[in-house]
Amino acid sequence: MQRIIKNNEVIDETWHLLPKDATLDGISNCDDLIVPLSLWRDHARALKVRDGGLGVWLDADEEAEEIGEDANQLQVIALNFPAFTDGRSYSNARLLRERYGFKGELRAIGDVLRDQLFYMRRCGFDAFALRADKDPYEALESLQDFSVTYQAATDEPLPLFRRR
């Protein structure tokens, strides 16, 4: 079973991530599912009445605004990093947290590597599904890379100049 980092701990993965072309056909009623944005957009009602948990994932070129005010209807929102050098999901994360007040689990998926975790957490991610070949226990260390930060972000609403 895959393990992910959640709230600074390594835990067992319990959610199923459905691929981008997933349809409602044969969809599980009781599993916890993270569905692609398009499926949720087209079938939000049907997905919500299931017994299992519901999350949605956005690709890097999909916009936080597409979930917008509906964010808190979801338990999990996962944001994809098609490559670790693609920084779009950092902006989506902050928008979901700071503009739409999303309170659920915000998860980084895709090309997620330890050297970006510190930035991700600052932008509001609290769960990290590391790339399969990487060790989540070692990665935990990188969440402590810096002890001071200059900017306001999701994790710290005050910039350093209002704290120093």
Partner 1 sequence: MRAELPRQNPIPASQYAAVSDRPKPETETYMYVYDEYDQRIIEDRVKQFRDQTRRYLAGELSEEEFRPLRLQNGLYIQRFAPMLRVAVPYGQLNSRQVRKLAQIARDYDKGYAHISTRQNVQYNWPALEDVPDILAELATVQMHAIQTSGNCLRNVTTDQFAGVAADELIDPRPWCEIVRQWTTFHPEFAYLPRKFKIAINGSSSDRAAIEVHDIGLEAVYNAAGELGFRVLVGGGLGRTPVVGAFINEFLPWQDLLSYLDAILRVYNRYGRRDNKYKARIKILVKALTPEVFAEKVEAEMAHLRGGQTTLTEAEVHRVAKHFVDPQYKALSNQDAELAALDKEHPGFARWRTRNTLAHKKPGYVAVTLSLKPTGVAPGDITDKQLDAVADLADRYSFGHLRTSHEQNIILADVEQSQLFTLWGELREQGFATPNIGLLTDIICCPGGDFCSLANAKSIPIAESIQRRFDDLDYLFDIGELDLNISGCMNACGHHHVGHIGILGVDKKGEEFYQVSLGGSGARGASLGKILGPSFAQDDMPDVIEKLIDVYVEQRTEDERFIDTYQRIGIDLFKERVYAANH
- Position 145 contacts partner 1 (CB under 8 A): yes
Total residues at interface with partner 1 (CB under 8 A)? 35
Of residues 23 and 146, the one with the C-beta less far from partner 1: 146
The residue with tokens 């991610």 is: 125
- Smallest gap from Cβ 85 to partner 1, in A, equals 5
Secondary structure class of 54 (helix, strand, coil): strand
Question: What angle is formed at CA 25 by the lines to CA 19 and CA 130, rounded to 5 degrees?
Answer: 20
Stretch that binds partner 1, among 8-16, 22-30, 44-52, 114-122 (CB under 8 A): 114-122
- Position 2 contacts partner 1 (CB under 8 A): no
Among 77, 78, 88, 106, binds partner 1 (CB under 8 A): 88
Among 9, 28, 48, 99, binds partner 1 (CB under 8 A): 99
- Smallest gap from Cβ 129 to partner 1, in A, equals 17
- Position 66 contacts partner 1 (CB under 8 A): no
How much helix, strand and coil, in percent to the nearest 5, is found in the chain?
A: 35, 25, 45
CA distances, 164 to each of 6, 145, 146, 153 (Å) = 30, 20, 16, 16
- Position 151 contacts partner 1 (CB under 8 A): yes
Conformational region of residue 110, where left means phi above 0, alpha means psi within -120 to 50, and beta covers everything else:
left
State residue 39 phi and psi, 5-degree precision. -65, -40
Residues in contact with partner 1 by CB under 8 A are 63, 84-88, 90-92, 94, 99, 113, 115-116, 118-120, 122-123, 145-153, 157-162, 164
